[in-house]
A = this chain, B = another copy of it.
């Protein structure tokens, strides 16, 4: 049996989900592929746990949740972090789950480049470096002959990138139109069912932990625009970057406009459009009882193809274990291909 030695960078909601998913599925993966997944290092922003014998997934989560730092992990806790972890540890694959940074893509960018240059495969949930430097990152992966997978960066557990590639190989895809941000979909859904104002609904969402304290990335469409760039590059092979997307958020939507739309059988949704002609994120009218009429924090995407016509996928756009499941799918696809 072969080991697959993984470094996990980032131990927030998604990182913890990855540890949990590995803990649930590792026996399964041993049985199915003869591969033993081993977390040899896990790091958050200022600490880590490192052991070439493999760390205990549940103890990692427990340590982080009780003490707030991985440096308290029994015997193997350290203050090493960032690139130093990659330099210090012998590994096969980097799982990169640090927070998205749309200004310069760091630390994801440096970590990923370092891994590529060391000949390591990378699985990421991060949108920042992809939205800013997609072609550069892909080229570098190719040059170094490593795998680079990013299913979790768009739509969380909603399968879209692997889906387009593997499940629809017979069709050519001309566009993807969808709801790629769960927070704004939650706010718009609540405004529609409750008739409440944008301001009040945002506050309610913040109290529920659905919207962040600074909601800008979600409500101004920035998060959805990053995902638009990733889909344009990965599925349509359009070499776009963040600044190519026309972006309008939902902060100007009033309960009156929602009410007006409702009377005519429509809903207002924050729609991302990805086509050769148009990269945009903006509020649009969609028909009730259409695949776009999803509620709550769900994500959806309708893929327009030449042979299969329109195919739609719907799934949880966020969530710790859900997003981790997409990363584990990427890991399994790398195992299938290379191990």
Q: Which residues of A contact B (CB under 8 A)?
A: 21, 24-25, 28, 157-159, 162-163, 166-172, 267, 288-291, 293-295, 298, 305-316, 319, 321-322, 324-326, 328-329, 331-333, 336
Contact = CB atoms under 8 A, between A and B. Distances in A.
Contacts of A169: 329, 332-333, 336
A interface secondary structure, majority: mixed
A294 B291 contact: yes
Contacts of A28: 172
B310 A313 contact: no
B322 A159 contact: no
A308 B315 contact: yes
A1 B315 CA distance: 41
B307 A315 contact: no
Contacts of A159: 163, 167-168, 308, 311
B163 A167 contact: yes
A210 to B, nearest CB: 16
29 contacts: A21-B307, A28-B172, A157-B307, A157-B308, A157-B311, A158-B311, A159-B163, A159-B308, A162-B166, A166-B167, A167-B329, A170-B328, A170-B331, A170-B332, A289-B289, A289-B293, A290-B295, A291-B291, A291-B294, A291-B298, A293-B293, A307-B322, A308-B316, A309-B321, A310-B315, A311-B314, A312-B312, A312-B315, A314-B314
A209 to B, nearest CB: 17
Contacts of A21: 170, 307
Contacts of A24: 306-307
Contacts of A329: 167-171
A333 B336 CA distance: 15
Contact of A170 (B25, B170, B309, B316): B25
Interface centre among A28, A172, A308, A332 (most CB of B within 10 A): A308
Contacts of A168: 159, 329
Contacts of A158: 311
Contacts of A172: 28
A262 B258 CA distance: 21
A265 to B, nearest CB: 10
A166 B24 CA distance: 19
A293 to B, nearest CB: 5
A169 B169 CA distance: 18
B308 A326 contact: yes
A109 to B, nearest CB: 26
A221 to B, nearest CB: 22
Nearest to A29: B170
Given A307-B322, A309-B319, A324-B307, A314 B294 contact: no
Contacts of A311: 157-159, 313-315
